[in-house]
Structure 1
Amino acid sequence: MSTILALDIGTEFVKAVLARPAKKGNLEILGVGKAKQAEGNMHAGAVADIPAVVVTCEEALVKVEKQAGERAGLTVVGIAGELIKGNTTTVRYSRKNPNKPITEAEMNDIIKKVQQKSGEVARKTVALETGNKNVEVRLINSAIVSLTIDGYKISNPIGFKGSDVVIQFYTAFAPLIHVAAIEKVCAELNLDLLTVAVEPFAVCRACLGDDLESSFSSVVMDIGGGTTDIAVVEDGGVEGTKMFSIGGRSFTHQIAESLGVDTATAERYKLDYDSGKLDDRIKAKVETALSRNLSVWLTGVEVALEDFDISGSLPRNVLLCGGGAGLSLLQETLAVSDWYQSLPFSRRPVIHLLDVNELPNLIIGEEDHLDHSFATALGLLRVGTDTLAGAPEENKLKAKLAKLLQN
């Protein structure tokens, strides 16, 4: 079976993971590659310098293909940034003929109408934020969050009879210019682009694995170099995704400004903060700078979570991933401070650093050395298998539904 390459083009690093679909919905990791980005390669999570990003991606590809012993096949690339709009829409309708089974054509019609409506909302929002009324957006991801027929929750509507149908759809749109940049990068690298996926959506897919009946619920925070991406998953369905442009690099810049050092030294101070390598005087100054930036970052988290249209409480389980999540002060602040009190949590959230070795349906070798910073790449692999599951030659109901949700 063909390999799948996940390419996570981040602000600080490009991460590449090559895998092969295995039995029982598993993914076998074949190789891992990582390369550091230059300062100007990315802006707010989006590609800013295509030739420079191509060079960095090539460096990561050489590493992953050398470890795997084979070339990359189909490729899934992540996309992030404040202009990515992911929301959940609820559709309620009464069927004229409740004794007639729901068909693929009926579902296709509903999905297309929701995607068109959501796309127009996303376009207007991006146009307002950018000041460009002619901005174009493209559908990136679409998934059914939940579906009930006559009050009964089901996972696949095709073939069911009933009158009252309530469907929640998650759709995510990105500005065409961002998608086109990713397509250009893949073309320059001679990669066969299978699909582009919104990164927090991909992380959620990694947590859910191959289990369509999963009851997994969590707030997922992916803290990258340039952005923080937040997703809410309730009972196995992605309720929505939000992003804001504060990530690990902003902590580095705060240290540089506060201590009067260059960014390379500030980055080293940040990484050494938890290692015990800093003397007490420097560590105290670094902690003050980190705390100042954490206050701003927490405000971003609160604003993002307030923007979710949640009827009940937010899930208490909070999973952290991405390179910025490794900062102990950030984890401790989330765990013990009162940042959550104005938000609809039933009780204090429980904070966990995501352990990729506990993600379902992954076969990871000890030599792969994967940590929480690779969660997005692993999720992109899962999106790749979802996309392949919708191939025309598959005739299962699951595959038919997946095909309907392709863009």
Structure 2
Amino acid sequence: MALPKFFSSKKTKENRFLTLEIGLEKVSLAVYKKDTSLERIGIGRKSFTNYQGLLDASLEAMDALSSIVEEIPKDTIVGISGQGLKTITTLAKYKRPKEDEPIHKKELEGVLDQVSTGLEEKNKKLFFTAISSAKIDGVKVTNPVNLKGSDAEISCFVAFQDETELSAVNQIANQMDLKINKILPTSFAVFQLITKSDKNVSDGLIIRLAEDSSEETFLTEGHINEVYNLDLGLRKIEFWKIAQEILLKEGRFSEGSPIWLYSEGEESPLEEIKEFFSEFPWREKFGFGQIPTINNLPLPHGVNQSDASLFALAREESDEANRV
């Protein structure tokens, strides 16, 4: 297999970058161009069954991409989903000593450092921290940078992953001669996509479905509470429905909260899932008077739901200058 022709960021006249997503069952690569809107130049995908076969799948996906895009940028943002991922959200509350001074990135970075210091997960490595949301003097904001105020509440999102899986990502990058600018959970990028569309989002559930697995991101008070993975998907949908009801019974979901659905497959039908939630006996099972709304992800016109994860990652890369 011939490797594609790469060009460095200094020679990237069109400001292109690469997104690499290790999904639930597929590895996907896409080239995006930063412009007034994000333009996808090309995409390559390949299924994989385990991390031992991830490198080969990645090379095949790159081969498919390079047949469409002649020159592949080295600058890369990487998204990770699936088993092995562990996330923690901690709320840091403090009174700012100089309330008339604007909040700078350095202040927020210090909060993240304090929160993440000492956090550990057995056999896992911390690979991502970020401010997911904030309140300044009781007002909810998505980005507190440059705001003034006294009372700060900062939601700090921290993610861990198995060291072997992170090593696999580095192996892919080395093999393809990529420059990784950032690695983050895809679920966080999708969460950010939703909150940018609706700043009033509080509680909710984001469900990603593949053939034999699924990933569920539970939201509480405007931040990620938990990312939960199931070894069930569209292929065994009846068993997935049973497992879904068990998850809901465990109190991870509140009355009237929205549910967002998206699939990993290019042609994965979600109508049966929407019907399941629409016809679910919410009142009888949980005493809910208000049923949840069932939504697709908020994507620009022309972006397919099956490309949602790649677009969310591309948006993160595009907005990186304002991210802490």
* TM more than 0.5: yes
| Distance across 2 between alignment mates of 1:317 and 1:219 | 5
1:94–1:165 Cα contact (<8 Å) kept = yes
Aligned CA distance change for structure 1 residues 378 and 136 (closer, same or farther; 3 Å): same
Aligned CA distance change for structure 1 residues 100 and 32 (closer, same or farther; 3 Å): closer
Kindly provide the amino acid, as one letter, of the partner of residue 260 in structure 2: V
| Distance across 2 between alignment mates of 1:107 and 1:294 | 40
Map of 2:135 onto structure 1: 147
Q: TM-score, normalised by structure 2?
A: 0.79
Q: Equivalent residues in 2 for 1:73-92 (5 A)?
A: 73-92=74-93
Kindly provide the amino acid, as one letter, of the partner of residue 261 in structure 2: L
**Which gives a bigger RCO, structure 1 or 2 (Cα 8 Å, sep 6+)?**
1
- Residue 303 of structure 2 is aligned to residue 302 of structure 1: no
- Please point out which of 258, 261, 286 is paired with 1:319: 261
Aligned CA distance change for structure 1 residues 190 and 329 (closer, same or farther; 3 Å): same
Q: What is the CA distance between 1:105 and its match in structure 2?
A: 3.7
Structure 1's unaligned 5+ residue stretches are 128-134, 255-289, 365-369, 390-398
| Distance across 2 between alignment mates of 1:58 and 1:33 | 10
1:91 aligned counterpart, secondary structure: strand
Kindly provide the amino acid, as one letter, of the partner of residue 228 in structure 1: S
Q: What is the CA distance between 1:198 and its match in structure 2?
A: 0.7
Map of 1:246 onto structure 2: 231
Q: Equivalent residues in 2 for 1:117-136 (5 A)?
A: 119-120=119-120, 123=121, 127=122, 135-136=123-124
1:33–1:63 Cα contact (<8 Å) kept = yes
2:55–2:168 Cα contact (<8 Å) kept = no
2:169 aligned counterpart, secondary structure: helix
| Distance across 1 between alignment mates of 2:87 and 2:57 | 28
Map of 1:7 onto structure 2: 20
Kindly provide the amino acid, as one letter, of the partner of residue 276 in structure 2: T
- Residue 324 of structure 2 is aligned to residue 382 of structure 1: no
Root-mean-square deviation (CA), in Å?
A: 3.3
CA deviations over 1:138-163 (Å, ceiling 9, x no partner): 132412312213x3444554555443
Aligned CA distance change for structure 1 residues 30 and 216 (closer, same or farther; 3 Å): farther
| Distance across 2 between alignment mates of 1:295 and 1:103 | 46
2:72 aligned counterpart, secondary structure: coil
- Please point out which of 317, 334, 344 is paired with 2:277: 334
Greater share of helix:
1
1:145–1:239 Cα contact (<8 Å) kept = no
Q: What is the CA distance between 1:17 and its match in structure 2?
A: 1.8
Between Structure 1 and Structure 2, how many residues are aligned?
A: 309
| Distance across 2 between alignment mates of 1:65 and 1:300 | 44
Kindly provide the amino acid, as one letter, of the partner of residue 306 in structure 2: S
Map of 2:45 onto structure 1: 34
Between the aligned residues of both structures, percent identity stands at 21
Q: What is the CA distance between 1:22 and its match in structure 2?
A: 0.4
CA deviations over 1:34-55 (Å, ceiling 9, x no partner): 2233xxx32xxxx2x0xx3222
Map of 1:350 onto structure 2: 293
Q: What is the CA distance between 1:317 and its match in structure 2?
A: 4.2
Q: Equivalent residues in 2 for 1:189-268 (5 A)?
A: 189-208=176-195, 214-215=199-200, 218-232=204-218, 237-248=222-233, 252=235
Aligned CA distance change for structure 1 residues 105 and 13 (closer, same or farther; 3 Å): closer
| Distance across 1 between alignment mates of 2:293 and 2:102 | 43
Q: Equivalent residues in 2 for 1:103-114 (5 A)?
A: 103-114=104-115
Greater share of strand:
2
Map of 2:116 onto structure 1: 115
Kindly provide the amino acid, as one letter, of the partner of residue 75 in structure 1: T
Q: What is the CA distance between 1:20 and its match in structure 2?
A: 0.7
Q: What is the CA distance between 1:200 and its match in structure 2?
A: 1.4
Q: What is the CA distance between 1:66 and its match in structure 2?
A: 2.2
Q: What is the CA distance between 1:226 and its match in structure 2?
A: 4.8
Q: TM-score, normalised by structure 1?
A: 0.65
Q: Which of 1 and 2 has greater Rg? A: 1
1:306–1:343 Cα contact (<8 Å) kept = no
- Please point out which of 32, 54, 60 is paired with 1:19: 32
| Distance across 2 between alignment mates of 1:107 and 1:101 | 11
